[in-house]
Structure 1
Amino acid sequence: MKKALALVAGAGIVLALAGCSASGDNTEASADPIEGLVNPGVITYCIDPEYAPLEYYEDGSGGEIIGFDADTARAFAELNGLDFKWEVTSFDGLMPGLTGGRCDAIPGGLYMNEERLAVADASAMMNTGPAILASPAIAPKLTTKEDLCGLNVAAQAASANAAAITALSEECVANGKPAINVTEYPKVSETVLAVLNGKADAMIETDVAAAYIETQNEGNIVFVNGIFEPDTQFGFYTQKGSAMSSAVTKGLKTLYENGTLKKIAEKYNLPVEILNVY
């Protein structure tokens, strides 16, 4: 088993966490060592553990970092015979952490888009797209994107979802409808609270996270199906042109083909059909 170290960004505190194989399989380590790591022999992952079921603290605010992405990161490190560290940061600090050389990879939780791919490499992990969660009073009224015009919608700051809802607001205005009042919050949990507290009519979030949020707030927030279609993929991001990039692409395919990713997805109640590493 590998050791996981959590580095709390900006605080200089290093917490030792016991890591383990996500799949329970004795996967054979890769024969090719990965060169150019921030810390030789150790993969450093930038992560924001505020995004269940992809990456989150097992007890809500501390302890082991778990989730689909986190367990995939563990499995990739094991596949390559390496230890790993968590570089814990805010969501908007993920990409700067990678491009600034504080970590070797971001294990998912970020859409693959042109802006990010211009500064970093990414290997596909799963199909995804934006989704809407709304208060029980508002949800039945939402059947199309245009029904969001004029509403108060919360989004996570610096996210692709925030950009999507802002673009939709511009479409509303262009079509003679009222703009969407978009309020951005640093954390996903804050966007959920905005809906629960009545500060927002709805929130926009990635579909896999939206389904989890509904189950955790049953009766108080509703996942509205059909507003957006899956339109992109989550990527496992690496530094532009680094040796990690090809290793991650190869490693994800291995973990997919040997059934590890399937087991991790099932562990977190994610539909296996969304997995896509090709």
Structure 2
Amino acid sequence: MKLRVLGFAGVAAAALVLTACSSTAASGGSASSKAPAGLIQSGTLTACIDPEYAPLESYKNGSSGDIVGFDADGVRALADHWGVKAKFAVTSFDGLMPGLNAGRCDIVWSGLYESDARKAIADSSPYMQAGPTAVAAPGLARKLGKQEDLCGLRVVTQSASANSTDVTELSKKCVDQGKKEITHSDYPQTAQTVLAVLNGKADVLVETNVGAAYIASQNDGKLAVAKGVFPSETTFGVFSRKGDKLSASVASGLKALYDDGTLKKLAEQYKLDAAALDVHN
């Protein structure tokens, strides 16, 4: 099951381009000898990102300041590897893929699952294994062990995501099995989905395992991850334009950052399971 898949009808918000702090990135706008061909701005790697998905990408001060997280620091590390500067083109979740294909950025590195639909319009390089999971109040979370346990419950997802599509399909399956349908609602931001559960407007939030673990850790005693409800059967990917000459460099750059331990260090820094990075083996 694939989650957080971008809706193609979404219209990109106006992108705010932020220069990322990097101690080893090349200064100025001149291209490094290691810089790959195909960057939209010579000497700069520009990444589309939606910084409201900790611990992958979020603002350091909640709604302002530097963008931090595994993905954000991964962008910086890839830029450093190429000897260029890093920039973030900040946009809404449903504007990430349109922003890429409109040429606002070189890559999308923002906690997005690979999917057949997305790979049909963009190239992708895997960097982390992931999967959906359910988050609920601790008492309910302990009772959830399979997908059908969500039948009859109020389930919330982020809009324009595959979470939403998959929950809709699961609800139909519930009805086909003679069970109650899922009362399903969407919110545009992850923070809003969390509040929906905390405020009693929903019983369960379906999110990625990476995001869910962080959400539960930030709401200890109020929310918990339900184990075994969904399988982990997909990966997060870094996306570049379909057929772009930059795509091969992104793939080899990610492999280099994996091989030299850079991605493992970032995973440990943000308390992620480093074994989830074993997508290059």
Aligned to 2:73: 71
Aligned equivalent of 1:47, options 27, 32, 49? 49
AA paired with 1:19?
Answer: S
Residue 96 of structure 1 and its aligned partner are, at CA, apart by: 0.9
- Map 1:14-163 to 2 at 5 A: 15-20=18-23, 31-163=33-165
Deviations 1:53-95 (A, max 9, x none): 1111111111110111111110000101111211101111111
For residues 49 and 17 of structure 2, the distance between their equivalents in structure 1, rounded to whole angstroms, comes to 14
Residue 203 of structure 1 and its aligned partner are, at CA, apart by: 0.3
AA paired with 1:165?
Answer: V
Aligned to 2:167: 165
| Residues 1:12 and 1:185: Cα distance change in structure 2 (over 3 Å) | closer
Aligned to 2:256: 254
Residue 277 of structure 1 and its aligned partner are, at CA, apart by: 3.9
Aligned equivalent of 1:193, options 178, 192, 195? 195
SS of the residue 2:142 aligns to: helix
| Residues 1:227 and 1:13: Cα distance change in structure 2 (over 3 Å) | closer
Aligned to 1:244: 246
Aligned to 1:268: 270
Q: Note the aligned Cα RMSD (angstroms).
A: 1.9
Contact kept? 2:15, 2:90, Cα under 8 Å: no
Residue 136 of structure 1 and its aligned partner are, at CA, apart by: 3.0
Deviations 1:23-56 (A, max 9, x none): xxxxxx9854322322222111100000011111
Deviations 1:122-149 (A, max 9, x none): 0000110000001234223212111100
Residue 16 of structure 1 and its aligned partner are, at CA, apart by: 4.8
Larger deviation, residues 69-78 vs 98-107:
98-107
Count of matched residue positions in the alignment of Structure 1 and Structure 2: 264
SS of the residue 1:106 aligns to: strand
Residue 182 of structure 1 and its aligned partner are, at CA, apart by: 1.3
| Residues 1:246 and 1:15: Cα distance change in structure 2 (over 3 Å) | closer
Contact kept? 1:124, 1:276, Cα under 8 Å: no
AA paired with 1:235?
Answer: G
Residue 226 of structure 1 and its aligned partner are, at CA, apart by: 0.8
Aligned to 2:9: none
| Residues 1:129 and 1:13: Cα distance change in structure 2 (over 3 Å) | closer
Gaps of 5+ in 1: 1-8, 23-28
TM-score (normalised: structure 1): 0.90
Contact kept? 2:55, 2:211, Cα under 8 Å: yes
Gaps of 5+ in 2: 1-11, 26-30
AA paired with 2:50?
Answer: D
Contact kept? 1:46, 1:87, Cα under 8 Å: yes
